Amino acid sequence: MARRAKNCPFCGGHAKVWTRTSFDCRVNKETRRTTVLCTSCGCRTQAFARPGDAVESWNRRCAVAEAAGHRPWWRRIMGL
């Protein structure tokens, strides 16, 4: 079962898992690369071959930001 990407740790926006398929002339076959990106601020992970790895990387970034006490800008303004 695939894990869901958490909201963006920087702005609190919705995170989208995006997979693109392209043809790689070097190996003469189609390749699929997946990244997780925030639909609000555009923050994103690097591209991964497996979707689960991209989500894991994104969620790990969220956990680090939360542990450091980072709050989205709108929460800081509202005092939440």
pTM, entire model: 0.68
User: H-helix or E-strand containing 33?
Assistant: strand 29-38
- Look at residues 36, 33, 45 and name the one whose alpha carbon lies nearest to residue 14: 36
Q: With respect to residue 1, please indicate whether it lies within any of the assigned structural domains.
A: no
Using alpha carbons only, give the angle 43, 60, 74 rounded to the nearest 5 degrees: 50
Q: Is residue 76 part of a domain?
A: no
pLDDT digit string (tens) for 12-54?
A: 889 999 999 888 788 888 889 999 998 888 888 888 999 999 9
Q: Note whether residue 8 is domain-resident.
A: no
Give the residue from 21, 24, 23, 19 showing the smallest Cα distance to 36: 19
Inside any domain, residue 3: no
- For residue 77, being part of any structural domain is answered with no
- Evaluate whether residue 57 is within a structural domain: yes
Average pLDDT over residues 67-71: 57
Residue 9 lies in a domain: no
Q: What Cα–Cα distance (Å) separates residue 27 from each residue in 22, 24, 66? A: 12, 6, 41
Range of the domain at 48: 15-71
Structural domains counted in the chain: 1
Residue 78 lies in a domain: no
